[in-house]
Amino acid sequence: MTDADKPAFARAIARLAVALREKDPDAVMMRVYFDTLRDIEIEFVVAAAERIVTSGQWFPKVTEWRATAARVETERRQAHRALLSKLPTPLCDVCRDTGWMPHDDGRVSRCDCYELRRLEVLGRRAWPALPAADATVSQDADNVSRDSGTTCPPGQR
């Protein structure tokens, strides 16, 4: 998270407090939680808060919120990988959707498409759609992400 994510974080922690009948979080509590969760993307922090709202019985400790955010991230990555594996052809001709671009000397480096796939997992970019024959997986992906209007570089969908 960055300082620009503080308003979204404040909404998430306030929603948790109301839903789980916790006293309003004060500035110190919010700062401690924000600083401790700072290394996690805001999308996973907010999704974890929503999950805790629907399944938690009390206000989470920072470690519980972190663990829930990690589960959300893992589930999204697994769902994304499953979707990519069902596509008839890889989205990226360079790395074949591995995220790693091979070089002639045997080294590898991050492929340009890695950032696009990351944005898809975060929900900042629409997930790729499967061919019409299997619309249910595409619908599941749409439920996790939203279209941000970005486009892929040449050679990548």
Please write the tens of the pLDDT for every residue from 28-71.
999 999 999 999 999 999 999 999 999 988 999 999 999 999 99
Burial 115-151 (b: 16+ CB within 10 A, else e): ebbeebbbbbbbbbbbeeeeeebbeebeebbeeeeee
Please write the tens of the pLDDT for every residue from 130-139.
887 644 544 5
**Taking 90 as the threshold, does the pLDDT of residue 142 lie above it?**
no
Rounded CA separation 30/135 (Å): 41
3-state secondary structure of 26: coil
Q: What backbone phi and psi angles, to 5 degrees, belong to 108?
A: -130, 155
pLDDT value of position 145: 40
**Taking 60 as the threshold, does the pLDDT of residue 151 lie above it?**
no
The residues spanned by each domain of the chain are: 1-78, 87-157
pLDDT value of position 153: 47
Identify which of 21-35, 103-117, 140-154 has the greatest average pLDDT. 103-117
Rounded CA separation 131/66 (Å): 36
Please write the tens of the pLDDT for every residue from 71-82.
999 999 999 999
Residues forming a β-bridge with 92: 156
Please give the residue that has the higher pLDDT: either 24 or 123.
123
**Taking 50 as the threshold, does the pLDDT of residue 122 lie above it?**
yes
- C-alpha to C-alpha distances, 127 to 84, 117, 123, 136, nearest whole angstrom: 9, 8, 8, 13
Residue with tokens 């759609």: 129
CB-CB contact of 20 with 101 (8 Å): no
Which band of pLDDT confidence, cut at 50, 70 and 90, is reported for residue 149?
A: very low
Amino acid at 34: F
What pTM was estimated for this model as a whole? Answer: 0.75
